[in-house]
Amino acid sequence: MPKAELHCHLEGTASPPLVRRQAARYGVDIATLLDGDRYRWHDFASFLRAYGAASALFRTEEDYAELAETYLASIAGSGAIYAEFFISPDHAEAAGLSPGAYAAAVAEGIRSAEAEHGIVARLIVVGVRHLGVESVERAARFAAGMPPLVTGFGLAGDEGAGDPADFARAFAIARDAGLGLTAHAGEFRGADAIRRTLDALQPSRLGHGVRAVEDPDLVRRIAAVGIVLEVCPGSNLALGVYPSPDAHPLPRLRTSGCRVTLNSDDPPFFGTTLAGEYVLARDAMDFSDADLLAATRTAIEAAFVDEATRRDLL
């Protein structure tokens, strides 16, 4: 089954064994970060802290190139032909690396993975909304400078921080530079937050977006306009957005005509993989093999790539 994903955070792909190795390399005590081979967190705020602590163990260009290549090699091994993932200049700077050096190193990891495993990948620079409007605008200006393989701009972090309209200027900077646009919305907030995100930021895709299901008018709008949902079922289950696969709205969104894709978000944090998301959709969310293939196809149709690359992938 060919697979593709549009929603994965680079630092969120770091496995516990890799994090242990990095901690040993830099002499950092990570006793509170890991419990055996699992990350320790219990809610979204503690997840973000664990994510920040793991990110801080990647400090050099070599660290980031290896992290990107390791993630891409792993999903290529389970059938992925394309991936878009988020990079965060704020996390790199916090770890002591300039955004330019960070993006160039990650692009190098992408090139190695393509040469070695045939997988194609592109980068989406994200602003972290709980770091504030100025920081998100700085991320947008960085993205607009078009570092290598950066084709998109997005908004991540705590959905409760600020109003979507606060980030309109950042999105205008990215849009004017010709970047594709996506925003996390409808993960922890409901339909109103999604509507405001669509109105204020005009992204072509939504990170998660699943809580649109709470408002039938909004579901109709998303289907009619063709907004693509980057659905991350394993993440939603791990973070308690939904209590069980039965309660997850992905089947309803799909059969209501929304364009859906399957994504891993922060795979080792949430005990998932891209292949695992496809299995979950098939075994617990009514996806036939044709529906899974359609999700892959939708991801490639909605990818932030040039048309020649898209044609090659389709």
202: which residues sit within 8 A by CB, 6+ positions away? 171, 175, 181
Q: Which does 51 bind (CB under 5 to 8 A by kind): ligand ADE, Zn ion, none?
A: ligand ADE
Site for ligand ADE in 280-299 (CB under 6 A): none
Q: Which does 90 bind (CB under 5 to 8 A by kind): ligand ADE, Zn ion, none?
A: none
Q: Which does 66 bind (CB under 5 to 8 A by kind): ligand ADE, Zn ion, none?
A: none
* 265 near Zn ion, rule: CB under 5 A: yes
Q: Which phi and psi angles does 174 have, rounded to 5°?
A: -70, -40
| Closest CB to ligand ADE among residues 184, 195 | 184
Of 151, 197, 235, 298, the residue at the interface with ligand ADE (CB under 6 A) is 235
**Helix, strand, coil: what percent of the chain each, to 5?**
55, 15, 30
| Closest CB to Zn ion among residues 26, 44 | 44
Catalytic residue from among 84, 137, 187, 277? 187
Least Å from the CB of residue 128 to ligand ADE:
7
Q: What's the DSSP call for residue 15?
A: -
* 66 near ligand ADE, rule: CB under 6 A: no
- On the CB side of 237, CA atoms within 13 Å amount to 22
Query: x/- contact string, 27-56, with ligand ADE (CB under 6 A)?
Result: ------------------------x-----
Q: Is 117 known to sit in a ligand binding site?
A: no
Q: Which phi and psi angles does 208 have, rounded to 5°?
A: 75, -95
For residue 90, give the H/E element and its range: helix 89-94
Q: Which does 248 bind (CB under 5 to 8 A by kind): ligand ADE, Zn ion, none?
A: none
Go through the chain and tell me how many residues it has.
Answer: 314
* 205 near ligand ADE, rule: CB under 6 A: no
Q: Which phi and psi angles does 196 have, rounded to 5°?
A: -65, -35
Of 265, 278, 302, 303, the residue at the interface with ligand ADE (CB under 6 A) is 265
126: which residues sit within 8 A by CB, 6+ positions away? 9, 86, 87, 88, 139, 153, 154, 155, 156, 157
The tokens for 31 are: 């006793």
Assess whether 187 carries a catalytic annotation: yes
* 12 near ligand ADE, rule: CB under 6 A: yes
Interaction site with Zn ion (CB under 5 A): 265
**Which positions are catalytic?**
187
